[in-house]
Amino acid sequence: MDCPPLPGFLFASCSQPLQYVVDLGRAPDMLKLQLVLEELTGARTVPRIYIGGVCIGGLSDMTREHESGALRERLQRAAAL
């Protein structure tokens, strides 16, 4: 399973480096990890994106926030800009 690459706008916008990237496709217990993700976030799809310790959802959720301007505000509150 390959995750789509994160959009360039996320890397271009952040002053803080990404702290954790976990590739579930390479994990021998991928299905178990996806079930844990579902318990924690309500969805088992990947990527699950966390900003400031809060799951904002998946890639489409992050893209919507970027397009509306909400992502910049969220990153500023998390001191990531």
pLDDT, one tens digit per residue, over 28-43 is 898 898 899 899 889 9
At position 41, the amino acid (one-letter code) is T
Q: Are 23 and 76 in contact (CB under 8 A)?
A: no
Q: Are 6 and 47 in contact (CB under 8 A)?
A: yes
Task: Report how far residue 5's alpha carbon sits from residue 31's, in angstroms, rounded to the nearest whole number.
Answer: 21
Which CATH fold would you assign to the domain 25-77? Answer: Glutaredoxin (3.40.30)
pLDDT in tens, 1-60: 445 556 666 655 566 656 667 777 788 898 898 899 899 889 988 888 888 888 899 888
State the CB neighbour count (10 A cutoff) for residue 75: 20
What are the boundaries of each domain within the chain?
25-77
Q: Are 67 and 73 in contact (CB under 8 A)?
A: no
Q: Report the predicted TM-score, pTM, of the whole model to 2 decimal places.
A: 0.68
